[in-house]
Structure 1
Amino acid sequence: MDERDQVLGKLGDLGALGGVRWAHASAYGQLWQDYEPDGGHDQAWVGFTAHKFLINRQDRVFQCGEYTAPEGEPSVGRDVLAKGIADRDFRTMPWLAPGIVVRHDLNASPGWVAGGWRWLMASYKFGHIDKIRWQDRSETKGVVARQPHSADDGGLFGVAELFGLPESADGLRGTLVLAHAMDPDTGEVELFLGRSRWNAGGGVPWVWRENLLALPPAAGGGRPLVGEVGQADTRDDAADARVHVRRSIRADDRPRAIGEA
């Protein structure tokens, strides 16, 4: 089994991929609803807002960060998880027990860990997933892209120490990138998870990448979302969700949504 299959299988089995996909759908659904270019919103606003929304939604669904349960409590209250988001998003939020995914930032770059794999976020221009230049990004993203691709790959020596990152090469090797984008004209979205590759001399910026929005419900052990908002959704509030999100599927063996009775 190669690394891609290991990652997708582990994160899928844990429910982390379902949580990420819900977070992405909720974040960009709200962003597209709020987006008003005639009112001054531009690509910079889209990037900043998507970043903030995705941090919030991932912390929310994984019950970490500001949504960490109080001392002695098994989980944070539903009223806390529902506050500030659309009712449709709360109703479709998948349930994951606290502690399955935890916050693990890298040099102030927001990150989450599950099953030994961490992911950081990166935005990019819609349709340009294979044109990202890691040398133009933050030092942290550059360090991650420089890491060995396998246990015997060698990589760059002392790169973590060079940039003052408190991480070993092995720890950084387990760090992936969650890349997200939106077409500001149509609202169409993209979401990829993969291992970045340093490409200062040109070439593909990924060792491997997976389109999370194209995964079938059970691919790699992935869990589909409960009542995921889709283009064919007929609920009264579906018209509010202008973002283009794929599929509306439900299965009996998936985790219950937090908003379900």
Structure 2
Amino acid sequence: MKSQNEALESLSRSRLNDLLVWGATVAFAHTNELFEDDAGHDQGVVGYLNFKHLCDLLDRATANGRFTLGDDVEGAGTDVLERGVTPEAFRTMPVFAPNSVSRSNYKGSPGWASDGIRVLLQSFAFGKVDDIKWAQRSNAKREVASQKVLVDATLFNAEDYGMEAVVETPNDFDGVTLVAAHAYDPLTGQYELYIGQSKNPQYRGDSCWHWHVKLLSGGTANSEALVDSTSSLPGAAATSEVDDIDVRIKMPFKSENTGTANV
């Protein structure tokens, strides 16, 4: 169980924060290429594309999902990892030791876990991070928002204030489940990425977060360094050559948590 400071230290130590920042930057750039206002694309399309791109990129960097090799496959697998991303995106992709980040889905919601922290994804409309209604999201997001925050015992005795000193977490994961909330507005080019512990408000005006911090923000996601105008969706092969990177793809991760992914 972790306090906010401990959770942030774990994110830094495991480099999940680096993974999320890299993934979001590349995902927003991909979404920027595909968005067509004249084709009727709206915020729902933006959220879905960001979600799908993020899942693909986080699995790509951590050797999970479709980037997990079977028992009869050997090799570094860099040829597979390069497909569908630009050379610059591949070059800047954070490299993780095998099995250091595992897939840890919760009730159909994709998650990635390391060092006692599990991260789920949630889209929101730009500028509305404090207005997310978890009760109107998936069952997974609603239940995760029911976790009680761990009070830092070094600040004061929580019990003296009638506060909970233990975090109640979904019983399939021995740790704290956080939410990475992402937003991109293709019309203005603005984007945001937050990480925090969600909360179901208890009264009018109550926050939807126990705490959250901003990992990334900017005025435009249309960066030529990350977007290749000759490619579109992940899966299209990049044409430029890059130096080989020693990346190992791990064995399959088996989980009983299956179901339909929730954006």
Q: Which amino acid aligns with 1:191?
A: L
Q: Which amino acid aligns with 1:53?
A: H
* Number of equivalenced pairs: 220
Q: Could you tell me which residue of structure 1 aligns to residue 250 of structure 2?
A: none
Question: Is 2:78 the counterpart of 1:78?
Answer: yes
Aligned-residue identity in percent: 32
Are the aligned partners of 1:120 and 1:175 in contact in 2 as well (CA < 8 Å)?
A: yes
Deviation of residue 75 (structure 1)? 6.7
Q: TM-score, normalised by structure 1?
A: 0.73
Q: Which residues in structure 2 correspond to 1:234-249 (within 5 Å)?
A: none
Instruction: Rate the CA distance shift 1:41–1:81 in 2: closer, same or farther, 3 A.
Output: same
Q: Could you tell me which residue of structure 2 aligns to residue 120 of structure 1?
A: 120
Are the aligned partners of 1:19 and 1:94 in contact in 2 as well (CA < 8 Å)?
A: yes
Instruction: Rate the CA distance shift 1:197–1:49 in 2: closer, same or farther, 3 A.
Output: same
Structure 2's unaligned 5+ residue stretches are 152-162, 230-241, 247-263
Deviation of residue 206 (structure 1)? 0.6
Q: Could you tell me which residue of structure 2 aligns to residue 28 of structure 1?
A: 28
Which consecutive segments of 4 or more residues in structure 1 shift more than 4 A?
72-76, 154-157, 237-240, 257-261
Determine helix, strand or coil for the equivalent of 1:194.
strand
Alignment RMSD:
3.2
Instruction: Rate the CA distance shift 1:155–1:146 in 2: closer, same or farther, 3 A.
Output: farther
Deviation of residue 71 (structure 1)? 3.0
Q: TM-score, normalised by structure 2?
A: 0.73
Determine helix, strand or coil for the equivalent of 1:198.
coil
Structure 1's unaligned 5+ residue stretches are 161-166, 215-228, 241-256
Q: Could you tell me which residue of structure 2 aligns to residue 209 of structure 1?
A: 212
Question: Is 2:47 the counterpart of 1:47?
Answer: yes
Q: 1:153 aligns with which of 151, 156, 164?
A: 164
Give distance in 2, aligned partners of 1:239 and 1:120. 28
Instruction: Rate the CA distance shift 1:122–1:238 in 2: closer, same or farther, 3 A.
Output: closer
Give distance in 2, aligned partners of 1:75 and 1:55. 23
Give distance in 1, aligned partners of 2:202 and 2:115. 31
1:108-157 deviations in Å (ceiling 9; x for gaps): 11001010110111111110111111111111111111112128728899
Q: Could you tell me which residue of structure 2 aligns to residue 184 of structure 1?
A: 186
Give distance in 1, aligned partners of 2:198 and 2:85. 32
Determine helix, strand or coil for the equivalent of 1:213.
strand
Instruction: Rate the CA distance shift 1:76–1:198 in 2: closer, same or farther, 3 A.
Output: farther
Determine helix, strand or coil for the equivalent of 1:25.
helix
Deviation of residue 79 (structure 1)? 0.7
Instruction: Rate the CA distance shift 1:155–1:47 in 2: closer, same or farther, 3 A.
Output: same
Are the aligned partners of 2:86 and 2:228 in contact in 1 as well (CA < 8 Å)?
A: no
Higher helix share: 1
Higher relative contact order (CA 8 A, sep 6+): 2
Instruction: Rate the CA distance shift 1:18–1:75 in 2: closer, same or farther, 3 A.
Output: farther
Q: Could you tell me which residue of structure 2 aligns to residue 254 of structure 1?
A: none
Question: Is 2:204 the counterpart of 1:193?
Answer: no
